[in-house]
Amino acid sequence: MRRTLLVAAGLLGTWAALRPRLMNLGATRPERARPLPGDDLVPGPRSTMATTLPAPPSRVWPWLVQMGAMVDPPAGCRPGAGWYSVDRLDNGGRPSATAVLPEHQHLAPGDRVASSARTWFTAAVVDPPRALVYRFRGTMTGRMADLDGPLPLWAVDSIWGFALIDRGDGTTRLLVRSRGSGRPEWFHRLAALLVWDPGHLLMQQVQFRGLRRRVARAGPP
Tens digit of each residue's pLDDT (9 = 90 or more) over 118-131: 999 999 999 999 99
- pLDDT reading at 2 higher than 80: no
Q: How many CB atoms lie within 10 A of CB 216?
A: 11
**Percent of the chain, pLDDT > 70?**
93
Is 111 within the bounds of a domain?
yes
Partners of 159 in beta bridges: 135, 179
Which residues, listed in sequence order, are joined to residue 132 by a DSSP beta bridge? 126, 162
**Is there a domain that residue 123 lies in?**
yes
Q: How many domains does the chain divide into?
A: 1
Per-residue 3-state assignment (H helix, E strand, C coil) for 142-178: CCECCCCCCCCCCEEEEEEEEEEEECCCCCEEEEEEE
CATH of the domain at 126: 3.30.530
Average of pLDDT values for 145-158?
A: 92
Q: What are the pLDDT digits (tens) for 35-69? A: 999 999 999 889 999 999 999 999 999 999 999 99
Alpha-carbon gap, residue 197 to 19, rounded angstroms: 8
| Cis-peptide into 43, omega within 30 deg | no
The whole model's pTM is what? 0.93
The predicted-structure confidence for 198-212, as pLDDT tens digits, reads as follows 999 999 999 999 999
Structural domain boundaries enclosing 79: 54-218
In a domain, 95, yes or no: yes
46 in any annotated domain: no
